[in-house]
Amino acid sequence: MKTLRQKLFQYRGYMPIPFLLAMIVFAQPTNVTMLVGFVIAALGEFTRFWGVAYAGSLTRVTGSVGAPEVIVSGPFAHVRNPLYVGNIMTYVGIGVMSNALFPWLVIGAFVWFIFQYVLIVQLEEEFLEGHFGEPYLVFKRNVPRFLPRVSPYRGEAQAHQPPRWGEAVRSERRTFQALALVMAILVALWIWR
């Protein structure tokens, strides 16, 4: 099982490709699906971007799980995995925009990404518990894995964990490019319908 989790972690950036291709090939966008889906996708990418501003470019690591510290600021004060939550929202939003094989492709993608991220998060949590011990366990007890808490968690480390927006922009450049390409294709398909 650990090997599967490590492979999912290593190749997590490529996992959306089959779903995105299917969403483009079978796209049937409408005015409503484009608007609703765009709002969901934009909220998802904002959540992810906000998380990257606090976690930094280490979120791009694909070799093995690691972290220099437990991030407890920004969106991490509400949910332990804001990047994965943001990713799921973005994929669901793009699926809604495309209206491809609706609702089955969106449901399938949602279930797959929940499955994938649960396994990846288990692997990451094992590392964090072993490496950081009690400070991580306190954070884990107070901040939910995927469903955000309304009031932010207050932790000691927050004082030295400010956002780094410039680094986030640089780190997310490829993500922005990929989203712009997929959305441009969906807009073109929507206009030509």
What's the Cα-to-Cα distance from 58 to each of 67, 85, 112, 119, 122, rounded to whole Å? 7, 17, 24, 19, 18
CATH, residue 45: 1.20.120
Share of the chain above pLDDT 90, in %: 85
The answer, yes or no, to whether residue 147 has pLDDT greater than 80, is yes
The pLDDT value recorded for residue 59 is 66
Query: Looking at residue 65, what is its pLDDT?
Result: 78
Task: Report the pLDDT value the prediction gives residue 158, as an integer from 0 to 100.
Answer: 83
Average pLDDT taken over every residue of the chain:
93
Domain of residue 100: give its range. 2-192
Q: How many domains does one find in the chain?
A: 1
- pTM score, two decimals? 0.94
- Residue in 123, 101, 108 with CA at minimum distance from that of residue 15: 108
Residues 78 and 149: beta-carbon distance below 8 Å: yes
Residue 73 confidence class, pLDDT cut points 50, 70, 90? very high
Q: Is 101 left (phi over 0), alpha (psi -120 to 50) or beta?
A: left
- Name the residue with tokens 């964090």: 128
Flag whether pLDDT at 66 surpasses 80: no
Task: Give residue 57's pLDDT.
Answer: 77
| Gap between the Cα atoms of 45 and 29, Å rounded | 20
Q: What is the pLDDT of residues 166-190, one digit of tens each?
A: 999 999 999 999 999 999 999 999 9
Query: Using one digit for the tens of pLDDT, what is the confidence trace for 119-134?
Result: 999 999 999 999 999 9
